[in-house]
Amino acid sequence: QVQLQESGPGLVKPSQTLSLTCTVSGGSITANFYYWSWIRQPPGKGLEWTAAIGSTGQTYYSPSLKSRTSISRDTSKNQFTLQLTAVTPEDTAMYYCARISQSTRVPPEYDYWGQGTQVTVSS
């Protein structure tokens, strides 16, 4: 059973850098065929895919967030991390990590999700 767990600060100040970590159990982030991703949902809005990292460390970013976003991993800990710089209140959202099957479907299928972590950007 694959499980994902988000961790990080619940409150960050504008202009600071947000760092969130997803810890994976029951499956390896280096296994072929899957991508490991971050998705967020601001209040009253839909889901927004932000970034993903593949089994060999290849990275992918949402065009709207690419300039501020970095995704990385620590294979020894089976973790991957999202960093979002220069945050504003518009970055306030529920942040989820999720696994994506290697697929051409739009939207892709997220077969496993973390429970999510609320991030509020406020001074």
Q: pLDDT per residue over 68-99, tens digit each? A: 999 999 999 999 999 999 999 999 999 999 99
Determine the residue type at 36: W
Return the number of other C-beta atoms located less than 10 Å from residue 103's C-beta. 13
- 38: tokens are 């971050």
Residues pairing with 20 in the sheet = 82
In this predicted structure, what is the pLDDT of residue 105? 82
Looking at every residue in the chain, the average pLDDT score rounds to 96
How far are the Cα atoms of 36, 82, 101, 103, 120 from residue 108, in angstroms, in the given order? 12, 20, 7, 6, 27
Instruction: Determine the pLDDT at residue 71.
Output: 98
Q: Does the pLDDT value for residue 102 go beyond 90?
A: no
